């Protein structure tokens, strides 16, 4: 690409990161191509906060093209059906789909066995960047491909998640289910320890997990442990007894706003230093990014080119042999040992991995700000996990350099997003409706919870806001009396929603 081509691309977009945004303001024009930071160092200089990747760690231009045609098709489909989403969201959601389907059946050796799970956060302002619309294309595709049983419940406590992932029991009504439902139930139990988890309001989970008294308090440690996909995970309490998860594997896709992160991710805060945020890949648009678009005026239908490869790949990876036994009135699935699809790493990929890893390590060492050290130290392995997904989906038993090049291109965009996130949470002059959620009044926090969730009981509001029930109760009564909330009966439980005249997506 010559300098004139660079200038033409730069003219297309007027955002903080220019080409990193990958969007045009003009809704009538095609969305521009995201720049490959592996081969175009000049564009790293558009933001001095992002260290430039050294020459020795860069790869030839277009080396990763064609490394994963399925992902290319997915991104094109997702752009069509979520036209106002930030460009990077489409790619990230496609990777979440692949990571979920892999279900710890794809591994490679790098100082030990490594799996292909990914933790991804879609960061952006509510409604502006269309996070949920993009994410639900991914979860919808899994269900359309009849792989929805790999998904964990959207709302769940860490204790219940552990219980589900360790359970080998079929539903009590298994015999009365249709053949299709029985197959899904059986598959769900055979892969109980391997789950993809989509959290539409990840900010609420972070707020809750930071409270010692919250039922979500334990989720932070669980997420950190399961990132490494250990051989097993054991959880024991006096009340709940023992739960043992075999081959635990968790992929996460979470939606979150900058406002949700500010109380916990400012410079020097705990979530940077304790390794929690370091395990997540950040997809972050510049705060002046804006896209316009229209949904197609037609029914959305997932094409065979997206569903069939997923089904065929899952079938090829296979499941362990099993038998169903009756035990104390329950049907238990007894599985044989899982057979993994173990990939090799080509010598070229191995060298490129270490060039990238060493470059990141050097940049990390030279940076006086240590908040991002944990993220930098994990980026190279994240890229190798992605490359392994590309190789396995494509039927290769080896992670080739083209797979790696495409993966490194993706993680380089995530590295830019990481710096953008750090900048935004530490920018005290940003134009935010509410800079700190914790500084909202109790009334505002309660209304925000109901606005985001739709319908909640007192317990749900307490979990979302981390306010105590005795604090919430009189405020709820006052809000109902003032007409700001409506009390409804939901299966015998008193719940609350916004009056229809006040519904919005803010």
* pLDDT digits 0-9 by tens, 340-350: 999 999 999 99
Does 190 map to a domain? Answer: yes
- Radius of gyration for the alpha carbons in the chain, expressed in angstroms and rounded: 23
Tens of pLDDT, residue by residue over 402-446, are 999 999 999 999 999 999 999 999 985 544 444 445 567 888 888
> How far apart are the C-alpha atoms of 59 and 109, rounded to whole Å?
23
Give the residue, 401 or 489, on which the prediction is more confident.
401
pLDDT exceeds cutoff 50 at 16: no
Q: What is the DSSP string of 202-270?
A: HHHHHHHHTSTTSTTTTHHHHHHHHTT--SEEEEEETTTEEEEEES-EEEEEEEE-HHHHHHHHSTT-H
CA 82 to each of CA 17, 18, 284: distance values in angstroms, whole numbers, following the listed order: 22, 21, 17
- Whether 139 and 247 map to the same domain: the answer is yes
pLDDT exceeds cutoff 80 at 193: yes
Question: How many domains does the structure of the chain reveal?
Answer: 2
Report the pLDDT value the prediction gives residue 38, as an integer from 0 to 100. Answer: 56
Tens of pLDDT, residue by residue over 354-399, are 999 999 999 998 888 899 999 999 999 999 999 999 999 999 999 9
Give the residue, 377 or 28, on which the prediction is more confident.
377
Question: Three-state SS for 342?
Answer: strand
Report the pLDDT value the prediction gives residue 428, as an integer from 0 to 100. Answer: 56
Does 95 map to a domain? Answer: yes
Q: Please, are residues 334 and 321 in contact by the beta-carbon 8 Å criterion?
A: no
- Whether 231 and 117 map to the same domain: the answer is yes
Task: Please provide the average confidence, as pLDDT, over all residues in the chain.
Answer: 85
- Whether 456 and 333 map to the same domain: the answer is no
Task: Name the percent of the chain lying above pLDDT 90.
Answer: 59
Structural domain harbouring 490: 441-502
Report the pLDDT value the prediction gives residue 296, as an integer from 0 to 100. Answer: 95
Report the pLDDT value the prediction gives residue 290, as an integer from 0 to 100. Answer: 80
Tens of pLDDT, residue by residue over 101-140, are 999 999 999 999 999 999 999 999 887 889 999 999 999 9
Among 190-194, 232-236, 309-313, the minimum mean pLDDT is found in 232-236
Report the pLDDT value the prediction gives residue 465, as an integer from 0 to 100. Answer: 78
Report the pLDDT value the prediction gives residue 216, as an integer from 0 to 100. Answer: 85
Does 44 map to a domain? Answer: no
Does 122 map to a domain? Answer: yes
Does 403 map to a domain? Answer: no
Does 18 map to a domain? Answer: no
- Whether 329 and 466 map to the same domain: the answer is no
pLDDT exceeds cutoff 70 at 10: no
Output the pTM of the full model: 0.79
Residue 384: which residues within 8 A CB-CB, separation 6 or more?
108, 110, 114, 345, 353, 399, 404, 407
pLDDT exceeds cutoff 70 at 503: no
Report the pLDDT value the prediction gives residue 430, as an integer from 0 to 100. Answer: 47
CATH of the domain at 449: 1.10.10.10
Does 105 map to a domain? Answer: yes
- Whether 325 and 465 map to the same domain: the answer is no
Report the pLDDT value the prediction gives residue 441, as an integer from 0 to 100. Answer: 83
- Residue ranges in 338-468 assigned as alpha helix (H): 347-366, 373-393, 401-425, 442-453, 458-465
Q: Considering 342, 368, 399, which residue would you say is the last residue of a domain?
A: 342
Does 421 map to a domain? Answer: no
pLDDT exceeds cutoff 70 at 28: no
pLDDT band per the 50, 70, 90 thresholds, residue 36: low
């Amino acid at each position: 690409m010559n300098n004139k081509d660079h200038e033409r691309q730069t003219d297309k977009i007027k955002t903080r990161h220019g080409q990193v945004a990958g969007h045009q303001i003009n809704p009538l024009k095609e969305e521009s191509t995201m720049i490959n930071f592996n081969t175009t160092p000049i564009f790293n200089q558009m933001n001095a906060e992002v260290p430039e990747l050294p020459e020795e760690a860069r790869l030839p231009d277009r080396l990763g093209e064609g490394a994963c045609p399925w992902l290319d098709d997915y991104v094109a489909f997702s752009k069509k059906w979520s036209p106002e989403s930030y460009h990077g969201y489409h790619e990230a959601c496609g990777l979440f789909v692949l990571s979920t389907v892999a279900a710890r059946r794809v591994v490679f050796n790098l100082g030990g066995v490594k799996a292909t799970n990914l933790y991804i956060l879609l960061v952006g302002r509510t409604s502006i960047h269309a996070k949920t619309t993009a994410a639900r294309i991914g979860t919808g595709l899994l269900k359309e491909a009849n792989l929805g049983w790999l998904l964990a419940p959207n709302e769940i406590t860490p204790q219940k998640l552990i219980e589900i992932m360790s359970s080998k029991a079929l539903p009590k009504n298994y015999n009365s289910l249709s053949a299709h439902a029985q197959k899904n139930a059986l598959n769900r139990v055979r892969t109980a320890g391997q789950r993809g988890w989509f959290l539409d309001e990840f900010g609420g989970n972070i707020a809750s997990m930071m409270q010692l008294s919250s039922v979500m308090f334990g989720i932070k440690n669980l997420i950190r442990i399961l990132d490494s996909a250990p051989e097993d995970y054991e959880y024991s309490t006096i009340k709940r007894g023992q739960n043992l998860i075999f081959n635990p594997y968790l992929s996460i896709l979470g939606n979150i706003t900058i406002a949700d992160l500010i109380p916990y991710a400012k410079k020097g805060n705990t979530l940077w230093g304790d390794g929690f945020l370091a395990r997540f890949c950040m997809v972050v648009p510049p705060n002046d990014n804006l896209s316009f678009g229209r949904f197609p005026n037609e029914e959305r239908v997932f094409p065979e080119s997206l569903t069939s490869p997923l089904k065929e790949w899952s079938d090829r990876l296979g499941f362990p042999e099993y038998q169903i036994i009756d035990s104390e009135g329950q049907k238990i699935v007894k599985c044989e040992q899982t057979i993994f699809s173990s990939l090799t790493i080509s010598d070229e990929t191995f060298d490129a991995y270490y060039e990238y890893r060493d470059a990141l390590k050097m940049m990390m060492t030279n940076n006086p700000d240590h908040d991002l050290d944990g993220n930098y130290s994990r980026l190279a392995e994240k890229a190798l996990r992605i490359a392994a997904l590309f190789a396995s989906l494509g039927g290769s038993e080896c992670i080739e350099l083209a797979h790696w090049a495409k993966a490194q291109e993706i993680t380089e965009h995530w590295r830019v997003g990481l710096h953008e996130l750090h900048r935004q949470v530490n920018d005290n002059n940003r134009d935010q409706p509410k800079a700190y959620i914790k500084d909202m009044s109790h009334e505002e926090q309660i209304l925000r919870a109901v606005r985001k969730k739709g319908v909640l009981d007192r317990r749900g509001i307490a979990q979302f806001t981390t306010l105590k029930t005795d604090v919430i109760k009189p405020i709820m009564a006052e809000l109902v009396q003032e007409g700001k909330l409506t009390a409804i009966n939901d299966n015998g439980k008193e719940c609350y929603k916004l009056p229809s005249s006040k519904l919005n997506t803010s």
